[in-house]
Amino acid sequence: MTEDPDYDAFDDPTRVACPANNCEHGDVRLSEYRGEDGESPVVLAGDCDSCGFSSVQCQECGDVTLFIDGDPRQCGGCDAVYQHELDRKGLSVSFRRVS
Ligand SMILES: [Zn+2]
Ligand SMILES: [Zn+2]
């Protein structure tokens, strides 16, 4: 058995590196979001603990895509499209896959 202490910090699967261009050290804390109808696939998404932007981790390919201005975003690695919904303060309240 070999141990690599450098990887300990990345063992937590609920945290992924923030994909925002100017955010070098932020982690996105992922949570599971289910569609309102209860039948849509679970979406893993969350907010960066550094810059506060929201991102989604694609269930198909694992790519992490940043949301901007509430627009639907196509995954950087496949054809999946995700949408987040904002409340009046601009905070993400839910995430879902739309295509
Ligand atoms: Zn960030
Ligand atoms: Zn994808």
Closest ligand (CA of 76): 2
Residue 5: the pLDDT is: 53
**Rounded (5°) CA angle 95-98-99:** 140
Closest ligand (CA of 67): 1
Ligand 2 centroid, distance to 12 Cα (angstroms): 20
Ligand 2 centroid, distance to 2 Cα (angstroms): 32
The total number of structural domains that make up the chain: 1
Residue 66: the pLDDT is: 95
Residue 68: the pLDDT is: 85
- Domain range for 19 is 5-97
Instruction: Tell me, yes or no, if the pTM score tops 0.75.
Output: yes
Ligand 1 centroid, distance to 47 Cα (angstroms): 8
Rounded Cα–Cα distance for residues 23 and 52 (Å): 10
Residue 90: the pLDDT is: 78
Q: What is the dihedral of CA 13, 17, 19, 25, to 10 degrees?
A: 160
- Digits of tens for pLDDT over the chain (99 positions)? 555 555 555 567 789 999 999 999 999 999 998 866 767 778 999 999 999 999 999 989 999 999 987 889 999 999 999 999 888 887 778 899 999
Closest ligand (CA of 53): 1
